Chain A
Amino acid sequence: MLAKVNQRQQMLFLAVALSALICAVLALSSGPVISDWRLALAWWWPADFSGIKALHIDVVTQIRLPRLVLALMVGCVLAQSGCATQTLCRNPLADPGLIGISAGAAVAALMVISLGGKWGLQGEFWVSGGAFLGALAATLLVYKLAGQSGHTPVATLILAGVAINAFAGAIIGLLSYHADDDSLRLMSFWQMGSLAGISWQQLPFGLVFMGLSSLMLILRRRAINALLLGERQAGYLGVNVQRLKREIILWVALGVGGAVALTGMIGFIGLVIPHISRLLVGADIKRLMPMSMLLGAAVLAFADWLARMLVAPAELPIGIITALVGAPFFLYLLLRQKRHHYA
């Protein structure tokens, strides 16, 4: 029986990894300039492909590849952070976007962009750093609001998110008008998210932030798994709960901060992906977290491909796509929780 369960889960991991690969091939090989599946090979395979010019290879390596790397990383980190915050709050609705962590990061990043110049805080490092601090502040605020019981009520969580998101929306609106850039475009970027126009030069700090967060969370997966039983039981099992909670908050803020600084707010990944993964591999964080990371990477790469292709040569903000799928899913989860609540 156990061997059967393990085998089934190995197959699932393989299937999800394969779909991530297919999404990657799609992302590299199609777009408004040229669509040819051989592009996914041509940029690294030392052979001559007829009809593919050096320009096309440049499009892949300088435009599509950094964008794909970012999509995979952001999807992975948002889904992983969702896993961690859901365990921290003991609530399957605790998504970094819904409860306001992404909004905190976005506001802080935008503040650095539009006001940081006065204090010499320019460049990607300060934007990512600002986003991290904003995310940290929002996470701590939500966690304090949740109270001491360790079991966060849905209403508190969602209302805290509504408040932080509304406040962040207002600030983003204000700052967008203050900034020199085309304010409308900037606003849609921060509130709906986009991976458009990303280049290798912009990536390093964000990737380091996300990579560190991802690594630290996956290293702590055993302790996070014990936290599933609640703070008290985790403590009885030998987890240093206060320290673990601080670590989770710190690493989630770092990862979400790094992601938001580069892509703006992309919602619902942290909600939907862990939930689907839980249906696939169960609640055990040691399997759930890697599965969420893999699935999150695949889904965000696919969503970004849709964002590029649906209205090509124009682009949709990716947040529209994740919200179109994620928001109904969120409502379904709410209804289900309500039913359980009254059952």
Chain B
Amino acid sequence: MLELSHVSVRRGQRKVVDGLSLCLSGPQFVAVLGENGAGKSTLLRAIAGDLPFSGDISLQGCSLRHWSAARLARMRAVMEQQFSPPAQMSVLEMVTLGRYGHDECDKEARLHAQKWLGYTHLSEYAHREVASLSGGEQQRVQLARCLAQLDGDSGGQKLLLLDEPTSALDLYHQHACLQLVRAFTEAGHLVIAVMHDVNLASLYADQILLLKNGKRIIQGPPQQVLQPDTLKSAYQINSHITPHPILTVPMVFSMPG
């Protein structure tokens, strides 16, 4: 569904993403990991169609350059890391904006929004101003908006791009939100999430893509990627890997290098 061939993104003189080729399709949750400046967010923005790149990115067999904004909006949503909410906008209004590209009346749009507010445990905040919420709550509002955007039967397989979706969330909501994202992938869709928490990635991702200097170090299921030597080359840390006592996925214990 998503295919990158020899994609490079330049920022100034520097190649932030360097000749990356990928082929991904849903249902799948792909976590993109790597140190600061490894090119994770830049890669995500290139896939979102937001940055000029060389090489080719194609979605459902059609080059990204040929997709119109309106058509693209019906099959991919992007949750950004940084976000400044406009003044006086309520949570419900913001999530309803996710329905912009759908042909439906305001009332239907609001019903969709309310459904996703329920799933993200935000129903009681529906009429609060977004700017008055905590960082974590705002992050959940963004996730609800993205999921509301992709809600609907049309367009087949969908693509959800998340840039550090859990960075401001408490433990409970980290799991609640990632479970929601998992449920989304299980409906047949593809999720690509830039993450920093290696263990959360191990718990939820089907595949991990480990980047350094804009290039892939390794890509594969968590058991294969989360190894002391790969983590050493990606993050310059020493680590000890041991299976989760209950869930058996690998857990990483990092140590000062």
Contact = CB atoms under 8 A, between A and B. Distances in A.
A236 B93 contact: no
Contacts of B101: 237-238
A10 B161 CA distance: 38
A279 B87 CA distance: 10
A328 to B, nearest CB: 20
A239 B98 CA distance: 12
A232 B106 CA distance: 23
Interface string A216-243: 0000001001101110110111111100
B153 interface: no
Interface string B61-99: 000000011111110111010011011111011100110
A52 B166 CA distance: 74
A245 interface: no
B80 A233 contact: yes
B69 A92 contact: no
Interface in A50-90: 90
Given A229-B86, A236-B48, A5 B127 contact: yes
Contacts of B72: 238
A2 interface: yes
Contact of B97 (A92, A225, A279): A225
Contacts of B217: none
Contacts of B127: 1, 5
Contact of B98 (A92, A235, A237, A241): A237
B70 A238 contact: yes
B149 interface: yes
Contacts of A38: none
A2 to B, nearest CB: 7
A67 B71 CA distance: 48
Interface centre among A5, A228, A279, A286 (most CB of B within 10 A): A228
Contact of A232 (B50, B74, B76, B97): B50
Given A5-B127, A282-B93, A238 B88 contact: no
Contact of B89 (A222, A232, A283, A286): A283
Contacts of A286: 106
Interface string A133-155: 00000000000000000010000
Contacts of A222: 100
Nearest to A235: B69
Nearest to B100: A237
Nearest to B126: A1
Contacts, number: 70
Contacts of B90: 282-284
A286 B101 CA distance: 15
Contacts of A90: 86
B110 interface: yes
Contact of B149 (A92, A228, A237): A237
A305 B86 CA distance: 35
Given A1-B127, A225-B97, A226-B100, A238 B89 contact: no
A238 B73 contact: yes
Contact of B86 (A240, A241, A283): A283
A228 B86 CA distance: 6
Contacts of B94: 229
Interface in A1-42: 1-2, 5
Interface string B3-34: 00000000000000000000000000000000
Nearest to A287: B93
A286 B126 CA distance: 18
Given A225-B97, A232-B50, A283-B93, A239 B86 contact: no
A343 to B, nearest CB: 11
Given A230-B84, A236-B50, 12 more contacts: A2-B110, A2-B126, A92-B87, A226-B97, A235-B50, A237-B73, A237-B100, A237-B101, A237-B149, A238-B70, A240-B70, A283-B90
21 contacts: A1-B127, A222-B100, A225-B97, A228-B86, A228-B89, A228-B97, A229-B94, A232-B80, A235-B69, A236-B73, A237-B100, A238-B69, A238-B70, A238-B71, A238-B72, A238-B74, A238-B100, A239-B69, A278-B87, A279-B88, A282-B90
Interface of A: 1-2, 5, 90, 92, 151, 222, 225-226, 228-230, 232-233, 235-241, 278-279, 282-284, 286
Q: Which 3 pairs show the lowest CB-CB distances between chains A and B?
A: A238-B73, A238-B101, A283-B89
